[in-house]
Amino acid sequence: MLGSGGVTVMEEGTDMVWAALRLMEFFYHESCGKCSPCREGSSWLVQTMRRIVAKRGQMEDLETLVHLCKNIEGRTVCAFGDASVAPIMSTLKHWRPEYVALIQAAEAANLIKLEPAAARH
Amino acid sequence: MATTTTETVRLTIDGIPISVPKGTLVIEAARRVGVMVPHFCYHPKLKPDANCRMCLVEVEKMPKLQTSCSTLATEGMAVRTATTVVHDAHKSVLEFILANHPLDCPVCDQGGKCDLQDFSHEYTATSRFIETKRIFQKEYFSPLIETQMNRCVQCLRCVRYCDEVMDVKALAPVGRGTMTEIKSFGAHPLDCEFCGGCVQICPVGAITSRLSMYEYRPWMLKRADTVCTFCGDGCQITVQTKDQELIEVNSAQGAGRNSGDLCARGFFGFHAASHPSRVTHPLIRRNGVLVEATWEEALEFVAEQTNRLKLAHGPHAFGGLITGRCTNEELYLFQKFMRLTIGTNNLDSSARYGHVNGVQAMRMVQGTHRWTVTFEDIVQADVLLLVGTNITEANPITGLKVKEAVKKHGATLLTIEAIQAAVGTISNISNLSEQHFCVAPSQFGAAVLGLLKAVVESNYVDSAISQRASDYVLAVSQAVQQLTWNDLALDTGISRESFVQMAAALTGGRRVVALAGQTLLRSQGSYGICLNLLDLLLLTGKLTAQGCGFAPLAEENNDQGAVEMGAVAALLPGALDLTDQDARTQIARVWKEDLPLAAGATLIEMIDRAQAGIIKGLFVIGENPVGSLPPQIGAKEALGKLDLLVCQELFLTETAELAHVVLPAASAMEKAGTFTNTEGHVQAVRPAIDPVGDSRPDWEILSAISVFMGAPLEYSEAKEILKEIRAVIPGYGSLGPSPIPPAVDRVAVDRYVNEGYRQDLTTRYTLPARAMRPEGTVQLGLVQSLFHSGKLSTHSKGLLQIEPSGFLQMNPVDAARFGLETGDRVRLSNGRGEFTTTAKVFDRVPEGLAWFPDHFAQAALRLFDCAVDPDTKVPYCRTASVSVMKTT
Ligand code: SF4
Ligand code: SF4
Ligand code: SF4
Ligand code: SF4
Ligand code: FES
């Protein structure tokens, strides 16, 4: 499941990490910001995902992503928070190698690990 | 309507059983068993919002964690706050909240008293956040309040407080998601009541006071719990000091009669005491000028002159005035000094400016000198009648109780005041009214008579009183029948139907409290109008019923104490008549000497007697008749004639400038004692700093003078005076958490309905003269501002930043008529003189009236007339008819 119950058809070969980021950006944008887990969590997730997609991720990010998702789920005011973590949770489950590949590419490029990405808000 | 449910539910918190009233939140139940659930957005004063998610707990049989701040305790509930799941949840929410937090604790004024710091410490929160933190550009927010939005945890406590508690609605969250910031409502710097509530309620350092910015770390400060001196509400404040310097004032959640809420004066006004122009040394006039002297010289001079004058002219050649800002101990000692050491009843206090009107009316009708209700009764009332007070400005915390009754419990608010409902940034009580009569102060009497007529003609008179006091009811009925609806409508602009509607609401109430404020108490005819208000309650059966009563609001912090200590001419300690033989005997036993019997002169009478050369010596403690009364009273000339004028003062006021001796007095920040607030609650005053310079508490000065005079009134500390007060007034000042109000004295009521009412009923039930306003004039009124209290607050740098000077406030229609816009210079004049000031168009001022704040009115006073109440001797000098002209 990638979102809130709708069916999305994607071309074979779509970059699923990129797709998850797009969906996460949607959720980040739509989060009303009332409660902290959803507001802060969605912003955090988006930033980390952007970094991974930009080939600046690190292996620890994957664990952090899972933790963040679990910490949002079930702790927000409304069901939006629960829905917002689905794209990352399920892509991580089914397409984990794609995440790993991106991170390995980053490590190969020997980028400085902790340099934060310039994030857009 | 207020519901006091006694139904309870039983639940367990971490296995500890507890029963709590139905409607209790889980977080509150937990607190009762000593379990503190971490939280940011929860606050006992606010409705649950459950936005921070910090307070999650496990509740048996519920699938998800629940926010304990929004979950009601129910029967049989089992709550767990200390499981691993809960702990992890707390830790994770904290990690989210910290994600965007700047953690600039080293330069944050909240550091050391910050919930976020404390919880982080508790959960040893570490963050895996390596992304970019949000950054807000620093923006100017307001003169006294600073925001640092990078630190905001978006709990919205500030916004909710400003709306739910203050009813001001000055703050709003702007933006979305992580970029939400708290801003003032509207595209301008914050413009609000400056109650400081948002500063106090912010759990982090996102909203702080600019007065104490970067000045301290909380653990460096010394604290003193004391009482605010800026109005009769008597709020408990905690004054924080560092090395004898006043740093900050706040009030702990739930503390005092104010339950931790404050107004701008209390929160931002504390610097008055440390103003550089404080008088710090005794001054003696030598060759026409005041020069520094030692205490010894000054006291000797005063004592010698006093003894000499007394020998030559007798005790009645003296008079004394004291401010209601002094402690009970000082007020008591002052009257003892005047009555015993000097031997005269010529003494008065600032209660004479209006408070005695309400007190004397209560004594007349219900036989008490105090309210028979408390702040709790105001909160629990189902009908509130406010006459002559925009309560949120004059007595802001009593005002909060009124707001709470209306906003939280749905009470019906009825108001009679010279103010128009208008949406503004400072709350206007008439906006909350169910029914509001906007009438000029000169017609308050007519408005109350209209209500009385409506009660009588609609047969709303309580049957019990009709039976018990048929003559009285008949007399009132006949008196109101003399009045015509037509005249009433011409006077007040209010129709019969409206009067009947308000009378019906009042009669239909179960718990009815009638509050009378300064605009009424300081207006001509006020004593009679207060009596009529009491008639209104009596006739509708609301005087003696549980939770009902009449509540005149004290202007100065201890006006009530001044009356109770006998610091007014005609009253002895205990607010008993000077002629009351039992009281005299009781006091004489404690004083070991008899009291003078001759009736004393009141404020204006003393000035007249000084003018006539009868009074030759005057002791003035913190009062400033020259600066507060219109010049045509002649206080300046009269005081100039005195052989001896002794002033005990904080500042060199217009009166002190005329003095022969000025003795530097310590402010309330520098002394111990008690104050009695408007509801009659006696509260402890504690020193926060040492007396400034050589100043000394007023009681010490009086005691020292008496010693030098050879008739010592000696006390080692203020407490010893309180002990004596308790011997004179048994049980004075329980000092408990809340007052125990007296009950209406049935014997007194019987005396009133059988006899007492007769002496002035016809006068009181006559319509006041109709105001004739010539073309080109307005009725100028002196009003109380929220941001000031008398002249004292004009020494407070914080309050001066909000309101540095006075403006002539005028309705838009009148302003247009005179071609005036905000900022224009305007000249006011009448037969007595003229005065030029700046105009401000203000839609809440009723048409035909114009306001000027009392606190800056020095130069305007010459326009005002003065009439003295024949019964209570209160000087009425708050209105003047003036011509208005635009000038440059
Ligand atoms: S708000 Fe609290 S945690 Fe944040 S910087 Fe200030 S003291 Fe530190
Ligand atoms: S400014 Fe303070 S009280 Fe207001 S939302 Fe932010 S953290 Fe909460
Ligand atoms: S200080 Fe102003 S903004 Fe803050 S709560 Fe009070 S009225 Fe509202
Ligand atoms: S001025 Fe009155 S209402 Fe304001 S803080 Fe002081 S005592 Fe309270
Ligand atoms: S305190 Fe309960 S959600 Fe904020």
Look-up of token digits 């909000």:
B802
Cβ of residue B65 lying under 6 Å from some atom of ligand 2: no
Cα B122 from Cα B101, distance rounded (Å): 17
Delimit the domains of chain A by residue range: 16-109
Best of B42, B54, B130, B150 to substitute, by most chain A Cβ atoms within 10 angstroms, is B130
Top-confidence range, A16-20, A83-87, B182-186, B509-513: B509-513
Q: Contact B807/B837 with Cβ under 8 angstroms?
A: yes
Cβ neighbour number for residue B137 with a 10 Å cutoff: 7
Does position B186 have pLDDT exceeding 80, yes or no? no
pLDDT digits (tens, 9 = 90+) for B715-764: 999 999 999 999 999 989 877 888 899 999 999 999 999 999 999 999 99
3-state secondary structure of B578: coil
B161 CA: nearest ligand 3 atom: 5
pLDDT digits (tens, 9 = 90+) for B862-886: 999 899 999 999 999 999 999 999 9
- Using alpha carbons, list the distances in angstroms from residue A113 to A88, A104, B730: 22, 12, 78
What's the pLDDT at A9?
79
B53 and A39 within 8 Å at the Cβ level: the answer is: no
| CA A28 – ligand 1 centroid, Å | 26
What's the pLDDT at B858?
87
Cα B335 from Cα B100, distance rounded (Å): 62
pLDDT digits (tens, 9 = 90+) for B120-179: 988 876 788 888 888 888 888 888 999 999 999 999 999 999 999 999 999 999 998 889
What's the pLDDT at A3?
53
Closest approach of chain A CAs to the CA of B116, in angstroms?
13
The percentage of chain B sitting over the pLDDT mark of 70, rounded to a whole number, equals 99
Residue of chain B minimizing CA distance to A82 = B64
What's the pLDDT at B306?
98
Does position B4 have pLDDT exceeding 70, yes or no? no
Residues on chain B touching A121 (C-beta within 8 angstroms): 134, 178-179
pLDDT digits (tens, 9 = 90+) for B576-596: 999 999 999 999 999 999 999
Does position B845 have pLDDT exceeding 50, yes or no? yes
Q: Which CATH number fits domain A16-109: 1.20.1440.230, 3.40.50.10800, 1.10.357.10, 1.10.3210.10?
A: 1.20.1440.230
Q: Contact B828/B776 with Cβ under 8 angstroms?
A: no
Cα A87 from Cα A1, distance rounded (Å): 7
Cα B411 from Cα B403, distance rounded (Å): 9
What's the pLDDT at A119?
42
DSSP letter for each residue of B83-104: SHHHHHHHHHHHHHHHHT----
Pairing of strands B56-59, B66-67: antiparallel
Cβ neighbour number for residue B824 with a 10 Å cutoff: 17
Domain annotation for chain B: domains and CATH numbers: 8-99 (3.10.20.740), 107-117+129-274 (3.30.70.20), 283-351+558-728 (3.40.50.740), 355-554+748-764 (3.40.228.10), 777-887 (2.40.40.20)
What's the pLDDT at B187?
74
What's the pLDDT at B407?
95
pLDDT digits (tens, 9 = 90+) for B823-834: 999 999 999 999
Q: Which of A77-91, B125-139, B451-465, B797-811 has the lowest mean pLDDT?
A: B125-139
* pTM: predicted TM-score of the whole model, two decimal places: 0.93
What's the pLDDT at A121?
42
Which of B100, B132, B178 has its CB closest to that of A116? B132
DSSP letter for each residue of B440-474: -GGGHHHHHHHHHHHHHHTT-S-HHHHHHTHHHHH
Pocket test of ligand 1: the residue of B40, B110, B118 to mutate, having most ligand atoms within 8 Å of its CB, is B110
pLDDT digits (tens, 9 = 90+) for A3-56: 556 677 788 778 899 999 999 999 999 998 999 999 999 999 999 999 999 999
What's the pLDDT at B161?
97
Q: How confident is the model at residue A120 (pLDDT cuts 50, 70, 90)?
A: very low
ipTM, 2 decimals?
0.85
What's the pLDDT at B33?
96
Q: Which of B341-345, B659-663, B768-772 has the lowest mean pLDDT?
A: B768-772
Q: Contact B725/B735 with Cβ under 8 angstroms?
A: no
Helical (H) or strand (E) element with B672:
none
pLDDT digits (tens, 9 = 90+) for B610-634: 999 999 999 999 999 999 999 999 9
